[in-house]
Chain A
Amino acid sequence: MDRDLRAPPNVDRRSLLRAMAASLALASAAGKQARADERALPYVNAPEFVVPGKPKWYATAVGFAGYAHPVLGKTYVGRPVKLEGNADHPATGGATDVFMQAALLGLYDPARSQAPRLLGRTATWAAFDAAVTKRRLMLDERQGDGFRLLTGAVTSPTLLRQISDLLRRWPKARWHVHETLGDTHRMQAAQQVFGRPLEPHLHLDKANVVVSLDDDFLGPGPHQAVQGRRWSQRRLARQQEQGDSNLFIAEPSLTATGSMADHRLTAAPVRIGLLAAAIARALGVGPSNNDALSASETAWIGRAVEAINANRGSALVTAGRSQSAEIHAVTFLINERLSAFGNTLGFTDPVVSAPGSGSSVGDLIEDMTAGHVSTLVMLAVNPAYATPTKLGFRQALEKVEFALHAGLHADETAGLCHWHVPLQHDLESWTDGRSVDGTVCLTQPLIRPFYNVRSLHALLDSWSAGTRSDHDLVRASWRDAWGKDFEDKWRDTLVRGFVTDSAPAAVTPSVANHDISIKVSAATGLTVDIRPDPSIWDGRFANNAWLQETPKPISKATWGNVLLISPRLAARRKISPGDELRLEVNGRRIVGAAWIAPGQDDETVTLTLGYGADRAGPLPHGLGYNAFALCSDPDSWTITGATLAPTGNHDVVASTQLNQEMDGFDFVRSVDAPDAAVKKHPETASFYPERHWDSPSWGMSIDLDLCTGCNACVVACMAENNVPVVGKELIEQGREMHWLRIDHYFEGEADELESSFQPVPCMHCEQAPCEMGCPVNAAVHSHDGLNLQVYNRCVGTRTCASYCPYKVRRFNWFEYTGNDPEQLRAMRNPDVTVRSRGVMEKCTYCVQRISAARIASQIAGRPIRDGDVVTACQQACPTQAIVFGDVTDPKSAVSRRKASRRDYNLLEEANTRPRTTYLARIRPGERPS
């Protein structure tokens, strides 16, 4: 009751968002944001003047973990409103992920740092430049001795050129790289095995059999979109019965990859090494150490090896980020034995350029502590938070005379530095970078910077006495590369978004070192298994409200991280979800809320990074725990010997799905062969007249065999449809606004566990109960088969929601949009009504895109073609799980899908005749009872 009394005043966390919008910043924002950068080139064609209401598309890219993710930016009169994948890109082919979808909000984020700061107080760029010049002259004298540059992973040719120029100018200066959750061990393994740095590329599209040793290759990360797309191509092939797509995984905690696996083994982190060794042995690779394996482990290995032997040349063994270099090395050896090189496993020279040995953040901290560092420049990194607390970066920083932090936010590091300067967001900058396959993408701004910010390139340039703009710097680096036909090439590239054939050539390396042995340490006590957060990665997206509100794929928790423990451990320790736990490992401890995760290893506690930051800003303030507090080595994510104890307190975990047990229902159905027919309920009789539908009449098909629950569609939907963010408190009360949600269900236990995802948008029922319930004709049916919600007609009786069997309707319990800051208003999609308090809303099948296509087709005087309408979720999906189109046209993609024998209606018994139907999951072989 106490809480309810307080309810009205702090109705949601978004009120903080509002508070954050400083009126001064707004004035400048309002003034500037409507100006496009005229040097940027529109994607399709370049009209001489902007036509209001007519969007312009630009090909550009957003960076994540050093890699560039190619995107097409949709802008209205100079305001970017939506990012979509670039279908022409050789690797992504239009695939997207949550981070790329949410980059748009990152641009408009009112919490972004908006002016330089000296010792926390706002300063001017002039003062900053003066300080830099003074510093530079001093450094010039000692050849840059004591100057250190700290960046994240770098693939940008321009940035690399600038850095090498700088190091040439100052031989004694040094460059350090710290990328949280980078692929360090895999690279080390390549070095060990091949004697030279190589970057492996998983060609999952070619792999009939994949054996993953705790490698969540479908999970969050810079490779997610590309690997998801490749994997789905294989799955699609299996659906056509062209080859297999047999996925084995051994993992301590259920992941997206584990959910899609055909054979999943729950294994403690320490067992992974043994499994790797055992597989190697079974395939005649590596030393024969014989450790006792459990029956289930032996069975799993048996099946895996059998499958591999049946598919040599099209099999792939891969290990995950948290596995040691040795384990990765062994997988390389196995893959070599399987002649996977060049087939399922490709190699190129590293896409991410590293400065070489002795350049880790650890080395930097040592030097700082030793006092060798006088000047520290940190570009877009946050080591004060995102490094193991034990390394003592904060203390070491005190020994540095001149510390400069440049970033999007005034974060922990900024707070400890002398200078903090705000950086431009990728979407307002000129830069370049390589996508995960190595193809170079050019990043052009969708909008002029509307804060008082500076480009990373320009900033670095000022250290070598330069004053060039990011535009000039990027052009400069490509002018050298392309020579005389530069201008044309530049133009083409901007239009296309990437440099054709710029990916490094594939190499087939020869193994230099065959004797790799895996050291297996026995675990004592509980093992801590630390993973990136599926929504905010290592915390760099903590200020992104869309990502904060995106449910984690498995736990469905939002606005915070939880400690995942197995049901058995929970039962043994009498822990229930939400109980606050103290996790302690050699003296260091964190406190967080428990979440019971089926498929979790009994002796393993899984944590995610990114929360519990102290200066993270108002949005993430006070959320979750900081897992970095437990780490000791920036690259090892498994810690043994932990102890767990309930504190007695209880937290509410803001989960959007409290029940994930399918409970004997058949919401998610599966078949045991691609051509098998799914079990259906008999169609019940209807009193209503059969209606004839004219073409086009819209429908959707969602393939549960392909959905990896990555949430890209969810965020894309929020961006496309101006879906409001409601914050933790309201999610706890069950008031999330997502028009498209992804339900996660599991059946069975431990190794028998079957986990599946089910995206649930509005079903657009032909016999919709919601329409019948509405007294004011606000829920009505359209001529082209849409279930419409007429906002301005809705009075909010909520009958439609009560009658909706799928509970896809969302209600504006409070005024969610009226008080948005200027930036968020600028971000809105002008084609979609912004809903006010007291009205019901829901998925519209992106009706605005349907209208656009209809108008276009009428102008062109032709019917709407299949593929003219692509919904936001469909476009975002990396695995092509969602297909949309005209169901009255038997040749349309969606009709062909619905013709499949796997096609079924959710809740046939409700007799609603949904237009959104599902394709059953394929689970080959006999299903565990």
Chain B
Amino acid sequence: MAEPGPGEGLFGMLAEFDQPDRLLDAVDRAHGAGFRQIEAYSPFPIDGLAERLGFKDRRVPLFTLAGGILGAAVGYGMQVYTNYAFPIDIGNRPLVANPAFMLITFELTVLFAVLFAIGSMLALNHLPRLHHPLFDLDDFHLASSNKFFLLVFGNDPLFDEGQTRSFLESLAPVRVSTVEHTEIPE
């Protein structure tokens, strides 16, 4: 879901709600009305909200799995390689002492899996992104406290300043406000 770049008219239209249930209804109705470039904002995760927006992304778990496999390979490979690269008799233990090697293999599996999980989460969320047009709206800071928002992006095919506003008004929000692009400083 690509957010509209500058110069594509408005960034979007934002509706504010004071109850999570209202937001859920609004999302359903917006989606029903055919809006696709929409995003919802809430102070805490709400079950099924993303799914109602058409979220079907399973990449984070997959990245995690990949990381885990890579970590295991790196961990075990490193230990076997180094022992062959410079073979030393250590207390008559076998050169490749699998029971001993398993521990570090496991640790690196975990380490890589977690790094990939969190790394991919941030990357796919395009975070960190320290500035965002929404931050220009005074009310939006309540998105992290107790208010719930629905945003229709300016690049939605159905987006039309007037109609979209009236549609949002019909969802019984606290208020509806337009979101301008942040002007890029010269």
> Contact at B88–A689, with CB atoms within 8 Å?
no
- From B47-55, B91-99, B113-121, the one touching the partner chain is B91-99
Complex interface residues of chain A between 746 and 796 (CB less than 8 A to chain B): 765-772, 777, 780-783
Q: Does B186 contact A (CB under 8 A)?
A: no
Chain B at the A interface: mostly helix, strand, loop or mixed?
loop
Across the interface, do A765 and B88 meet the contact criterion of CB distance under 8 Å?
no
List residues of chain B with CB within 8 A of the CB of A767: 91-92
B130 on the A face (CB < 8 A)? no
Smallest Cβ-Cβ distance to A769: which chain B residue = B91
Verify B90–A688 contact, CB threshold 8 A: no
Is the CB of A54 closer than 8 A to any CB of chain B? no
Residue A39 lies at the interface, judged by CB distance under 8 Å to chain B? no
A862 contacts the other chain (CB 8 A): no
Whether B93 contacts A772 by the Cβ 8 Å rule is: yes
- Which residues from 59 to 90 on chain B have a C-beta closer than 8 Å to any C-beta of chain A? 88-90
A780–B92 touching, CB < 8 Å: no
**Number of B residues with CB within 8 Å of any CB on chain A:** 7
Which of B90, B91, B92, B94 has the most chain A CB atoms closer than 10 A to its own CB?
A: B91
**CA of A691 to CA of B89 in the docked complex: distance in angstroms?**
10
Q: Are B92 and A688 in contact (CB under 8 A)?
A: yes
A688 and B88 form a contact (CB under 8 A):
no
- Considering the complex, give the chain B residue whose CB is closest to the CB of A771: B91
Q: Tell me whether chain A's interface is mostly helix, strand or loop, or mixed.
A: loop
In the assembly, what is the distance between CA of A165 and CA of B92, in Å?
Answer: 70
Beta-carbon nearest neighbor of B100 in chain A: A772
Contact A772 B94 (CB under 8 A): no
Structural contact, A777 and B88, CB atoms closer than 8 A: yes
Using CB atoms, name the residue of chain A closest to B86: A777
A781, B94: Cβ atoms closer than 8 Å: no
| Chain B residues near A783 (CB-CB < 8 A) | 89
Scan residues 888-929 of chain A and give those whose CB is less than 8 A from a CB of chain B.
Answer: 913
Chain B residue, CB-CB nearest to A803: B91
Digitize A621-654: 1 where CB-to-B-CB distance is under 8 Å, 0 elsewhere: 0000000000000000000000000000000000
CB distance from A731 to the nearest CB of B (A): 30
Cβ contact within 8 Å between B89 and A688:
no
Asked if residues B90 and A689 are in contact (CB atoms below 8 Å), the reply is no
| CA–CA, A28 and B19, complex, Å | 95
- For the complex, what is the distance from the CA of A705 to the CA of B38, rounded to whole Å? 94
The reply to whether B91 and A689 contact each other, CB–CB distance below 8 Å, is no
Q: How far is the CA of A769 from the CA of B89 in the complex (A)?
A: 12
Taking a contact as CB atoms under 8 Å apart, the answer to whether A689 and B89 are in contact is no
Interface residues on chain A, size class: 10 to 19
CB contacts (< 8 Å) of B92 on chain A: these are 688-689, 691, 766-768, 781, 913
Instruction: Pick from A689, A771, A780: contact of B94, CB below 8 A.
Output: A689
**Chain B residues with CB below 8 A from A689, complex form:** 92, 94
Asked if B93 and A780 sit within 8 Å, CB to CB, the answer is no
Contacts of B93 in A (CB 8 A): 688, 772
* Chain A residue contacts of B94, Cβ below 8 A: 688-689
Let me know if B88 and A772 touch, CB within 8 A.
no
CB B79 to nearest CB in A, in angstroms, measures: 13
Shortest distance in angstroms between B58's beta carbon and chain A's nearest beta carbon?
Answer: 40
In whole angstroms, how far apart are the Cα atoms of A691 and B91 in the complex? 11
**Bound form: Cα–Cα A781–B88 in Å:** 7
Kindly state the separation between the CA atoms of A770 and B93 in the bound complex, as whole angstroms.
12
Complexed CA–CA distance, A765 and B88 (Å): 15
Q: What residues of chain A lie closer than 8 Å to B88, measured between beta carbons?
A: 777, 780-781
Interface 1/0s, chain A 18-32, versus B by CB < 8 A? Answer: 000000000000000
Which residue of chain B lies nearest to A783 when distances are taken between CB atoms in the complex? B89
CA distance A783 to B92 in the complex (A): 11
Give CA–CA (A575, B152) in the complex, Å. Answer: 94
Query: Which residue in chain A gives the minimum CB-CB distance to B88?
Result: A780
Closest to A785 in B: B89
Chain B residue, CB-CB nearest to A780: B88
Taken together as a complex, chains A and B put the C-alpha atoms of A489 and B92 apart, in Å, by 56
Please measure, in the bound complex, the distance between the C-alpha atom of A768 and the C-alpha atom of B92, giving whole angstroms: 8
Residues of A with C-beta under 8 A to B90: 771-772, 777, 780-781
> Smallest distance from the beta carbon of A735 to chain B beta carbons, Å?
26
Q: What residue of chain A has the Cβ atom nearest to residue B90's Cβ? A: A771
**Neighbouring B residues of A771 by C-beta, 8 Å:** 89-91
Q: How far is the CB of A565 from chain B (nearest CB, A)?
A: 46
Q: Which residue of the partner chain B has the closest CB to A913?
A: B92
- Residues of B within 8 Å of A777, CB to CB, are 88, 90
Of chain B, the residue at the smallest CB distance from A689 is B94
Chain B residues with CB under 8 A of A772: 90-91, 93
A782 closest partner in B (C-beta): B89
Q: How far is the CA of A772 from the CA of B90 in the complex (A)?
A: 6
Distance of A771 Cα from B92 Cα, bound (Å)? 9
Closest to A765 in B: B91
Q: With a CB–CB cut-off of 8 A, which chain B residues contact A769?
A: 91
Q: How far is the CB of A477 from chain B (nearest CB, A)?
A: 59
Question: Smallest CB-CB separation from A688: which chain B residue?
Answer: B92
What is the CB-to-nearest-CB distance from A176 to chain B, in angstroms, rounded to a whole number? 64
A48 to B92, CA, bound (A): 48
User: Which residues of B are found within 8 Å of A766, using beta-carbon distances?
Assistant: 92
What's the Cα separation between A847 and B94 when bound, in Å? 25
Contacts of A782 in B (CB 8 A): 89
A390 to chain B, nearest CB (A): 62
CB interface residues, A 664-691, toward B, < 8 Å: 688-689, 691
Q: Please report the C-alpha to C-alpha distance between residue A370 and residue B88 in the assembled complex, in whole angstroms.
A: 78
Q: Output the least CB separation between A687 and chain B (Å).
A: 9
A845 to chain B, nearest CB (A): 16
Write the chain B residue with the least CB distance to A686. Answer: B92
In angstroms, Cα B89 to Cα A770, docked, is 12
Most chain A CB within 10 A, of B89, B92, B94, is at: B92
In the complex the two chains form, what is the Cα distance from A769 to B90 in whole Å? Answer: 9
Within 8 A of B (CB), among A285-333: none
A543 to chain B, nearest CB (A): 43
Provide 6 A-B residue pairs closer than 8 Å at the C-beta atoms, listed in order of the A residue: A688-B92, A767-B92, A777-B90, A781-B90, A781-B91, A783-B89
Q: Which 9 A-B pairs have the closest CB atoms?
A: A781-B89, A771-B91, A772-B91, A768-B91, A767-B92, A771-B90, A688-B92, A780-B88, A767-B91
Chain A interface residues (CB < 8 Å from chain B):
688-689, 691, 765-772, 777, 780-783, 913
7 more contacts with CB within 8 A, not counting A777-B90, A782-B89, are: A691-B92, A765-B91, A771-B90, A772-B90, A777-B88, A780-B89, A913-B92
